[in-house]
Amino acid sequence: MKPIRMLGAFVTVGGWTLLSRLLGFIRDVMIAAFLGAGPVAEAFLIAFALPNMFRRFFAEGAFNTAFVPMFAKRIETGEDAQSFANSAAGVLGLLLIALCLLALVFMPWLVWAMASGFEGDERFSLAVGMGRIVFVYILFISLAALASGVLNALGRFAAAAAAPVLLNVILVAFMLLAPYLGLAVGDALAWGVPVAGVAQLGMVWFAARRAGFTIVPRLRFSPALKRLAIVAAPAALAGGVVQVNLLVGRQVASFTDGAIAWLSYADRLYQLPLGVVGIAIGVVLLPELSRRLAAGDGPAGQAALNRAAEFALLLALPAGMALLVVPHLLVSVLFERGAFMASDTSATALAVAIYGLGLPAFVLQKVAAPLFFAREDTRRPFYYALCSMLVNLVLAVGLMPWLGYLAAPVATGVAGWAMLGLLLWGARGYGVAAQMDARLRRRVPRQMAAALVMGLGVWLLGQALAPWLDGGSGARFAALGLVVLTGAVVYGGVLVAIGGAKLSDLRQPRRQPRA
């Protein structure tokens, strides 16, 4: 198999992810306008979080973390990858059907575990009803994640990266069509989720079929599948730890009216750069590292990891700085309309600024973790995740009396930096592939300096344009566009001037022969 052009792959995945996140913004802007931060909005956000939580636990977390390296190595060595994919799909599908049936029965307890502060008011019954509708989404999206893993291991990233766009398109359509469907907006959103899951699964399944892999779930147990379970088990536990962190944050927020919505909208803002950069890197880097290590090509693995880290910081540092210095501008322009009031903007902006401090850590985790997963080492990331969970739990609960709902993003950010530190510490024994090269050591300080200069310029401009926020939608979006354009020009200019990047980096690298 030919090696991947990593920059091109990053751009492909990042571009589609950017489109998905932008449509996600439109979706959330519409939810905010229709439902604000009221009980229906909070109920839907909790209900929708349930299948997404288990999806990360079963599919994108545990299962694909173990599946992608093993599938990629089978392709590299010429083993029967088709049967392995079919067996994995069969076992995953069986587990998911059982999970869906259990969730229907125990939905009140699941909602209580997510947001016990809802108990005793209308949000609880709304979330239970919506949860029973949306939970089936996990079946379709998890099987879609497996098919996406097949495509990613083959170096075909476009369809898998484009599939999430369908979710946001369908949810927006269902909101607009709600009056014609005879549904309230909240109910329309709930029914749109499983429809989107079917569409996403269909898209990636047909793409995998065109690539030569027709995935047909089969319950066939083999030594390879046993190995998959052994590798996936620690990753599943690590995924559970991550979800505990999210649960703690939601529990803290559920005791403040509106806080679930504030944190969800803030999460949407910081997830935009995290998704575009972090997810793109994680998706491309894991199969690439797996192939390199299977071929015994350590220096090529080091080059891939270092360029991924450089690319991650190139975009994550200015994005995190923008979230930190102009959060009110971002939230006001994007969300403040309809039922979303100025008080909601202020509360959400505080959370956005805190998330901005943790953004580089979250992105770099996507670079560091594949180094372990490519070696089928899921145990140590699990132990590190446990430590991160303890940090998050202690801070979130301990700071809640003083910070209220803001204890959740503070705890999340500190835990994110702790997790990154442990991953870097644990990777020291992985030889040349884990080492920083001279180019990365030279460029990172320059990227940080350019981000600081950009942050100062953007903050000053944001202060000057503050009166524009009291104008109409045109003036507000013009202010945001001017800030974004100025930030990009200042950051790019300073970065090139001090040697943090070169214009020649934008050219596609030549393919290197495999060692």
The SS3 assignment for 236 reads: helix
Query: What is the model's pLDDT at position 2?
Result: 42
Stated length of the chain: 515
Burial grade of 52 (CB within 10 A; 0-12, 13-18, 19 or more): middle
Q: What does the alpha-carbon distance between residue 197 and residue 105 come to, in Å, rounded to a whole number?
A: 21
Query: What is the model's pLDDT at position 390?
Result: 92
The candidate with the shortest Cα–Cα distance to 137, out of 64, 89, 188, 198, is 198
Q: What does the alpha-carbon distance between residue 469 and residue 481 come to, in Å, rounded to a whole number?
A: 13
- Expressed in angstroms, the distance from the first to the final Cα of the chain is 12
The tokens for 27 are 């979706």
The candidate with the shortest Cα–Cα distance to 241, out of 10, 417, 494, 61, is 61
Contact 96, 228 (CB under 8 A): no
Q: What does the alpha-carbon distance between residue 339 and residue 345 come to, in Å, rounded to a whole number?
A: 11
Q: What does the alpha-carbon distance between residue 308 and residue 311 come to, in Å, rounded to a whole number?
A: 5
CA distances to 243, 279, 449 from 246, rounded to whole Å, are 5, 18, 32
The candidate with the shortest Cα–Cα distance to 394, out of 244, 260, 263, 266, is 244
Q: What does the alpha-carbon distance between residue 428 and residue 285 come to, in Å, rounded to a whole number?
A: 19
Contact 503, 496 (CB under 8 A): yes
Contact 494, 445 (CB under 8 A): no
Query: What is the model's pLDDT at position 356?
Result: 94
Helices (H) and strands (E) in the chain, counts: 18, 0
What are the mean pLDDT values of the chain's consecutive 10-residue runs (515 residues total)? 55 77 83 83 89 69 70 78 88 89 93 83 91 94 87 82 90 93 91 95 94 87 77 67 70 81 85 74 70 70 84 91 95 84 92 94 87 81 89 93 92 93 88 80 95 96 87 82 94 93 57 36
Contact 250, 46 (CB under 8 A): yes
Distance of CA 360 to the CA centre of its chain: 13
Contact 242, 61 (CB under 8 A): yes
Task: Please state, as a whole number, how many other Cβ atoms lie within 10 Å of the Cβ of residue 30.
Answer: 18
Gyration radius (Cα) of the chain, Å: 22
Task: Please state, as a whole number, how many other Cβ atoms lie within 10 Å of the Cβ of residue 351.
Answer: 28
Q: What does the alpha-carbon distance between residue 390 and residue 385 come to, in Å, rounded to a whole number?
A: 9
In the DSSP assignment, the letter for residue 79 is -
In the DSSP assignment, the letter for residue 157 is -
In the DSSP assignment, the letter for residue 279 is I
The tokens for 38 are 């009221």
